[in-house]
Structure 1
Amino acid sequence: MSPRVVTRLAAAIALSIMAGAVAAQDPEAAAESGDHARSSATTLDTVQVTAQFRAQSMQETPIAISAVNAEMMEARGQTSVLDIAASAPNVNIKPAVGNYGSGAAISIRGIGQYDSSFALEPGVGIYIDDVYHPTIFGSVFDLLDLERVEILRGPQGTLAGKNSIGGAVKLYSRPPDEVPGGFVEATYGASSRIDLRAAANWVLAEDSLFMRVSGVSKKRDGYMTRYDYGCLNRDSGVPAQATTPDCVLGTEGGQDFQGVRAALRWLPSEKLEVNLILDAAEDDSEPPATKLLHGPDPRFLTDARFVNYSTYTGTGWRAQPRSTMSSRGASLKFDYSFDDRHTLTSISAWRDYEGGWGVDADGSPLEFYTQAWDVEYRMLSQEFRFNGSALGDRLDYTIGTYLFDGKGVFAGIAQIPNLFALHDDPVQSKSKSAFAHTVYRFNDRFDVSAGVRFTDESKSYGFTRTDPVTGLPQSAIDGQVGHYSGSRWDYRLSGSFHVTDSTMLYASYATGFKGGGINPKPFVPAQVVPFGPEKLDAYEIGFKSDLWDRRLRLNGSLFYNLYDDILITITNGYGGFPASAMPVNAGEAEVKGAELEFTVYPVEGLSIDGSLAWLDFDYTSLSEIALASRMRYGMVAPYTSKYKASVGLQYEFAFDTGALVPRLDTNYQSSFYTNATNTLTGQVKTATVYNARLSWRPWDADWEVAAGVTNLFNKYYYLNKIDVVSASNIATASPARPREWFVNFKYSF
């Protein structure tokens, strides 16, 4: 972290504390400001989590967790998973580049996944109301009417299951309850931004039947303008395509999203609770903003920040500039309590989603790197859990099983060097597991937890490669099917010791894995080969503390990971095919790190929250194919930042009529690479971003108004990159949105 950034962060904290101290010098004067007391917290909230299969305080859970509730998300103006990840230590979630459709590159502690191919498994598990989302595609979730979000760092192999090797992100919606009411919220802002949110809760039968319905609509114009190069440069020899005088073909980065969720909660008896959740979403957005950084024709490089010359044209065809997804899902949860200590839980879930996206990977009028994809996926899952207590309530235990069945099709047309073909690839994935988790309390201060999970998985991936013109097989891999299967035991052992009533120390050993699969991009039958799973052994020590009469929360951890059979996608060609990519088990690494999270209320009305993170990634072994692809010792895994920090400052000014609350959030992240070979054209540089928000909340009213600015200092920086210079002489980046303002109004009833 640069000294300049450290100085800025320290100065911001110091100024805010001084301002709060000045405001609090005369407590009697503050009390005389009106009959209404401050509504801001002066002591820490108790955040409930369910990371160990039962509700408990985050401060009592021996796992590194970043958890935020609905009030925290609202105060920070967080509306998506991307926003929450920005302030979580050693968590890197970036929107996918245009090549990968509607999804995200997700990494925790240097472990993750960025390619949306159904052949590859996520490295961080995503869960919505305890239901696993199995693909990178469709993984950027709107925070619609959520009760809380939990980000679990480190392998959750026994708790969350396979593909949670780096950690897990868990979203929990607000359940229906016995209090009727709801809210309506509207946001208007720059780029014609219009966001609408609403939720309502009904009591259908007193004490037994409740329903909650929520919805969201988000629309915003694109910020990257696509100009027609041939129209702007009539003598260039490039054919003009634009039909308007300004030579504009369209924009990228625009958003058009709608979603709805309906939840029904039924309490037919004191022993049984039934929860049914139905949801649907439609995303008809533009492709991500794409900036050409390196290309075969320098004419199409431009210094203009938010301009490209993408035409989405191939040879004799055109891709539609879009990034769409249509999703439908349902989950049914039964909780039956035999008595106060024994509960059986069943979670049945179904989800079906489909979408498509166009790719102009050369970012120019050239026709040699254009793609259009249409994908669909359907999943069914069933989980059973039995929670119980024994030995005079000293022992809590959970045993359970999990079944998963997923089917998808990855189809489209791809025109890249050495290949022009129609794809129609079916994929099928199955998994079953059994698990157990126990917590034994020796006394009021010392606990030991132990867990185990066995997983058996299989996957098949079929290949169709036909000529777009003739419909005949385009290559020898047409009709080939690859198969993978494997099984794995995972373990967890941890101990926690309460030094005082407010300070806990813990230590843990945990394992996890990311499932194997089949190379999705072969050129010859010999390349239709499986790859093995990644594996991780993780050692961690940490502490959790609520100090200073519960006005200071300080949580920290140190970890050491042994990372084996690391799965890396080689993007600089192999086997004589330069424009190719292949996932391989590249080697082993040691990963070390430190994390610190804090929340403090130094004076009444002032709150400061933040985090610091350090990560050291070191390859200790590289395979022959990794070395042949120009990976070297000293490089790091994709999406691994060495440093990350965040600070949020908020102060509530109390007046006779209400509260004025300014808030400033600062997020710093050091540079990271988006490819395994750590090229300069694949490096996303260090960025520090500031967001500001000012809200007014009357004491005796049911409404609140806020205004804010994102990217306050209008920093031009990249969210993501893709570098295939060695394979296709192309590198592109996704610029972040420029500075934008918004106003927000919320009415509760």
Structure 2
Amino acid sequence: MPTPEPCNAALPLSRLLTAVVALALASPVLAQSPQDDPAQPPSATTLDAVEVTAQRRVENIQDVPVSITAVSGEKLDVFGSGGGDIRFLSGRVPSLNIESSYGRAFPRFYIRGLGNTDFDLNASQPVSLVYDEVVQESPLLKGFPVFDLERVEVLRGPQGTLFGRNTPAGVVKFESAKPSQEANGYAQVSVGNDGMFNFEGAYGAPLTDRWSARASALYQRREDWVDNAFDGPNDGFEGYDESAARVQFLYEGDGFEGLFNLHKRHMNGTARLFRANIIAPGSNNLVPGFDRDVVTNDGVNFSDLETWGGSARLRWDLDRVTLHSITGYESAESLNRGDIDGGYGAAFLPDSGPGFIPFPSESADGLPDHRQITQEFRVESNEWGRFDWQAGLFWFDEDITIDSFNYDTLAGGVRNGWAQQTQRNKAWAVFASGDFDLTERFKLRGGVRYTDDEKDFSARIIEGAFGAPPAGPFPVRTDASDVSWDLSGVFAMNDDVNFYGRVAKGFRAPSIQARLLFQAVPQPSVADSEEALSFEAGVKADLWDRRARIGFNVFRYDVDDQQIIAVGGARNEAILLNADKTRGQGFELDLEAYLTDSLLVTFGSSYNDTEIDDPDLAVAPCGGGCTVLDPASPDPDRPGTVLIDGNPLPQAPEWVHTLTARYGVPVGEGEFFVYTDWAYRSAVNFFLYESVEFRSKSLLEGGLRVGYNWNYGDYEVALFGRNITDTTRVVGAIDFNNLTGFLNEPRTYGVEFTARF
């Protein structure tokens, strides 16, 4: 495999700037109607304005000086067909990748290549997930099912002013459909292959002239579709049974509004299914004769997760200003156990496989105790003319306990290792943001936020693995503060075209981790704060009498002391590190257009070029079987490690493309439609080091939906398929034992009926 080119050789920033200038110059021309004859009436098929709350106010997406994509309505329905979890958004938005080594329980988000491959339940991520204005800090909270939503907003680049710490890469923001004084709801049922059954529904109505309520629910089930050829504890894998519900109450008074939310999730099924020796040595191909429908595992596999929470969003209209109070509570409990070696037996036994199994590995991670409390007070001005502002206070308190277990598979799965981590995390912040109309066409925005973050952590080995003695406790305390900020400007060339520029600084608070069971010398690892500085420039335009909409931007970011995790290696350790610098640059494009009155097309594309810049940073490579491309470290204190300077960030695809097309024609009293969507991401490295085997192939997945709706769209029946080409790709790996990997979701198909009322 050739050595990757340096970051600045792939796509110079000057070329990106040239591209955006060229597009900007073309925009005024493109914005003109193709029908200049006033005698011809304009087409009735136009795009509705997209309202977002990216800046904590309701605004037209075209006026927001942030690279942002909003996903709502039919797109969410289509992407979620087949019972997909939140990972279905991966690749469906420019610069967004989502993956998991836990299956449905623990999604890891990456924006512009920035993310965290850490599999510890205490892991922090540089992409924050905000659900109904409440931050979901624990990785296990971030997988709450997608149902009954108004929209999903993906904000790219640092969002440290209004959303705080742990947002240097961006924010994924979910807004649930709210109660109203208008009664409405829907019910959706689908059945499909592998015993798939999905139900989703909601109903909202007024209770009095002041109170309204909305209840929504989801149930998803799929039977095991992977057979276990080994006579072990599990006969099959990849099935699941998941339910979630949300109830909301809205009070609308004179000058006061209160929105109250309770939600709960329960999921049980298969943990991530690891498959031993599925990668052909010396390549990143699947081994000849690979069959994704069969494995031979001798360990126990299951995933149980339960979360619940509530929030109160209060708003007082005080004439000149509005006061907001957002109170949130979240709790999670989980246990996830899997056969990590991905096979059966061991090489020192008479029988083992598939391939070389040097020793068995079976482990579990659990979250027996977790709670998170958040409180925000925010004041915003009410149309003060040329100047508007908002300011607030934020408080965060999280308390967690994490159990890590090891099991002796060859002795019937008895436990032979137990380590525990506890952490109390308290943070508070004060922030202010404002925008000022310098002229009728030029608006300046800016903000600043001060954050203080404290963590009190302790870890101990209660039962040492393989007869090792107990150890600990190992206490760690961190206390960090930081100032994040942003400054942007928006210039309206005309009513349809806006240019913007933005510079922003974000940070991630220190992280602590202690995967103690397999460390030669048990010791927690700590990563200091990271800081990201991002520059962005772009154009947003409505074209062709609002039959089309475009957003395009270029960006460059630098991260100081980026937190990274060295996972795997011969001992399957997980060690937190800080890279001296990492850099990224690229562009993002969002396009939506009615090509005809019957054909709506959307297209998204992004290029992300990332690079680690730290000549002395070294990590342990794979434990065996892989072809490492990085040079060995000359440091005598770190034998067996390799230098990763110049490598791209892991799970950071250079290219992401997404395309949807919907064609509908009237038939009888309804509409026949065809909807297809395609998502492409280029190859990614699974780890910080580079190797031939642990670099994925590119991935292209497509979906198809064919259906008929009637009674003005109130009823719909459709046939659907996801991953219709049945593409099989390795999307992640375990590198300490053998060439073990895990796969993307298989092809699913079925029929769905929807009724709206």
Q: TM-score range by the shorter chain?
A: 0.7 to 0.9
Distance 1:215 1:165 in 2: 33
Q: Is structure 2 residue 542 aligned with structure 1 residue 531?
A: no
TM-score by length of 2: 0.84
Secondary structure at 1:82 match in 2: helix
Shift of 1:619: 2.5
**What is the aligned partner in structure 1 of residue 303 from structure 2?**
323
- 1:244-293, CA deviations, whole angstroms, 9 ceiling, x for partnerless residues? xxxxx4222212100110000011x3200001000111101211233223
**What is the aligned partner in structure 1 of residue 160 from structure 2?**
157
Distance 1:92 1:365 in 2: 32
**What is the aligned partner in structure 1 of residue 272 from structure 2?**
288
**What is the aligned partner in structure 1 of residue 582 from structure 2?**
589
CA contact (8 A) 1:555 1:597 kept: yes
Aligned with residue 517 of structure 1, among 511, 517, 542: 511
The letter for the 1-side match of 2:744 is: A
CA contact (8 A) 2:459 2:473 kept: yes
Distance 1:643 1:529 in 2: 33
In the TM superposition, 1:343-422 aligns within 5 A as: 343-366=322-345, 368-375=360-367, 376-389=369-382, 392-414=384-406, 420-422=416-418
Aligned with residue 263 of structure 2, among 253, 273, 279: 279
The letter for the 1-side match of 2:732 is: K
Which deviates further from its counterpart, 368-377 or 656-665?
368-377
What percent of counterpart residues are identical? 24
Distance 2:756 2:382 in 1: 41
Distance 1:501 1:670 in 2: 37
Shift of 1:646: 1.2
Shift of 1:116: 3.9
**What is the aligned partner in structure 2 of residue 306 from structure 1?**
293
Secondary structure at 2:646 match in 1: coil
Change (3 A) 1:694 1:301: closer
**What is the aligned partner in structure 2 of residue 270 from structure 1?**
254
In the TM superposition, 1:252-263 aligns within 5 A as: 252-263=237-248
Q: Is structure 2 residue 562 aligned with structure 1 residue 566?
A: yes
Shift of 1:193: 0.6
The letter for the 1-side match of 2:236 is: T
Change (3 A) 1:630 1:415: farther
The letter for the 1-side match of 2:169 is: G
Aligned with residue 733 of structure 2, among 709, 719, 722: 722
The letter for the 1-side match of 2:649 is: A
Secondary structure at 1:463 match in 2: strand
Distance 1:378 1:204 in 2: 32
CA contact (8 A) 1:590 1:618 kept: yes
Aligned with residue 321 of structure 2, among 327, 337, 342: 342
Distance 1:516 1:597 in 2: 34
Shift of 1:328: 0.9
In the TM superposition, 1:338-737 aligns within 5 A as: 338-339=318-319, 341-366=320-345, 368-375=360-367, 376-389=369-382, 392-414=384-406, 420-467=416-463, 474-476=469-471, 478-522=472-516, 523=519, 527-573=523-569, 578-626=571-619, 629-699=641-711, 702-718=714-730, 720-724=731-735, 728-737=736-745
Shift of 1:118: 4.0
Shift of 1:572: 4.9
Change (3 A) 1:301 1:688: closer
- 1:321-370, CA deviations, whole angstroms, 9 ceiling, x for partnerless residues? 2112101100001100101x410000011011111111211011236311
CA contact (8 A) 2:602 2:661 kept: yes
Aligned with residue 83 of structure 1, among 85, 88, 105: 88
Shift of 1:519: 3.3
- 1:410-450, CA deviations, whole angstroms, 9 ceiling, x for partnerless residues? 11312599x95212221211111111111111233110000
**What is the aligned partner in structure 1 of residue 25 from structure 2?**
none
Unaligned runs of 5+ in 1: 1-39, 229-239, 243-248, 313-318
Distance 2:655 2:502 in 1: 23
Shift of 1:457: 0.5
**What is the aligned partner in structure 1 of residue 749 from structure 2?**
741
Which deviates further from its counterpart, 173-182 or 675-684?
675-684
Secondary structure at 1:601 match in 2: strand
Distance 1:646 1:426 in 2: 41
Distance 1:271 1:212 in 2: 22
Change (3 A) 1:635 1:703: same
Shift of 1:295: 9.8
Aligned with residue 106 of structure 1, among 101, 104, 109: 109
CA contact (8 A) 1:416 1:579 kept: no
Aligned with residue 197 of structure 1, among 191, 197, 200: 200
Secondary structure at 2:76 match in 1: helix
Change (3 A) 1:515 1:682: farther
Distance 1:529 1:201 in 2: 49
In the TM superposition, 1:87-166 aligns within 5 A as: 87-94=92-99, 96-98=100-102, 102-166=105-169
**What is the aligned partner in structure 2 of residue 21 from structure 1?**
none
The letter for the 1-side match of 2:505 is: T
CA contact (8 A) 1:146 1:171 kept: yes
**What is the aligned partner in structure 1 of residue 215 from structure 2?**
213
Distance 1:654 1:81 in 2: 33
CA contact (8 A) 1:296 1:729 kept: no
Distance 1:306 1:163 in 2: 39
Change (3 A) 1:701 1:400: closer
Change (3 A) 1:454 1:473: farther
TM-score by length of 1: 0.85
The letter for the 1-side match of 2:594 is: Y
Change (3 A) 1:429 1:473: farther
CA contact (8 A) 2:117 2:565 kept: no
Which deviates further from its counterpart, 447-456 or 129-138?
129-138
- 1:642-663, CA deviations, whole angstroms, 9 ceiling, x for partnerless residues? 1111111110111232100101
Change (3 A) 1:604 1:296: closer
CA contact (8 A) 1:101 1:137 kept: no
Secondary structure at 1:110 match in 2: coil
Secondary structure at 2:62 match in 1: helix
Change (3 A) 1:579 1:666: closer
- 1:198-241, CA deviations, whole angstroms, 9 ceiling, x for partnerless residues? 111121102x100000101000123332220xxxxxxxxxxx54
Shift of 1:525: 6.6
RMSD: 2.5
Unaligned runs of 5+ in 2: 1-42, 282-286, 346-358, 410-414, 620-632
CA contact (8 A) 2:564 2:578 kept: yes
Secondary structure at 1:684 match in 2: coil
Distance 2:572 2:91 in 1: 33
Which deviates further from its counterpart, 406-415 or 521-530?
521-530
Distance 1:89 1:459 in 2: 34
Distance 2:249 2:677 in 1: 36
Shift of 1:42: 2.0
Change (3 A) 1:212 1:307: same
Distance 2:712 2:484 in 1: 54
CA contact (8 A) 1:329 1:351 kept: yes
Distance 1:186 1:416 in 2: 43
Shift of 1:142: 1.6
Change (3 A) 1:624 1:595: closer
